[in-house]
Structure formats: C-alpha cells, structure tokens
C-alpha cells in the first residue's frame, strides 16, 4: 500500500529573508511570506491565501497538503 505524504518531494527555497517559495516535481506550490507580526502567510500557486501560521514549518505543511488535495481531485 502506498502512502501519499504531502511533504514528500517538496522543495523549499528562501528567496529573501522571510519569503519562501515551494515546488514539487518542477511545479510551483505557492509561497510563504513572514508578516510584520511574525506570523507566516501561506498562499497557493494562484496567490490565494491558505492561512496564517505561527511558524514556517506549519505554513509549509499546509501548502503541501493543499497541493496534494488539488492533485488528487485532478485524478
């Protein structure tokens, strides 16, 4: 049985301090931007807000889960 882990294969790059972009298999996942209050704003590949998160890791996990959900709907 294959288990689809959303974070598997995701690559994150820090473009500048407080701004990260993600991809998987060469496809853009979205971006994460640190806000003035220290929270992390995660946006999908269409720049739609996914949510605000207390830490960067939680924001990354949320974006990879959104992408995995979108991918499974396309199948």
Structure tokens that stand for 64 in this block: 């990879």
Residue at 14 is within a domain: yes
Residue at 3 is within a domain: no
- Cα-based angle 52, 63, 75 (whole degrees, multiple of 5): 145
Instruction: Quote the pTM value.
Output: 0.81
Residue at 1 is within a domain: no
What distance in Å separates the CA atoms of residue 39 and residue 17, rounded to the nearest whole number? 14
Each of the 75 residues of the chain gets a pLDDT tens digit; together they read 333 444 568 999 999 999 999 999 999 999 999 999 999 999 999 999 999 999 999 999 999 988 776 665 655
Q: Which domain holds residue 34?
A: 10-74
Residue at 2 is within a domain: no
Overall number of domains in the chain: 1
What distance in Å separates the CA atoms of residue 2 and residue 34, rounded to the nearest whole number? 34
36, 34, 37, 38: which is closest to 15 by C-alpha?
34
Residue at 22 is within a domain: yes
Residue at 4 is within a domain: no
């Amino acid at each position: 049985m294959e288990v689809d882990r959303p974070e598997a294969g995701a690559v994150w790059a820090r473009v500048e301090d407080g701004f990260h972009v993600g991809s998987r298999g060469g496809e853009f996942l979205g971006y994460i931007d640190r806000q003035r209050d220290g929270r992390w704003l995660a946006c999908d590949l269409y720049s739609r807000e996914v949510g605000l998160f207390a830490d960067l890791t939680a924001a990354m996990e949320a974006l990879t889960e959104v992408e995995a959900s979108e991918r499974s709907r396309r199948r």
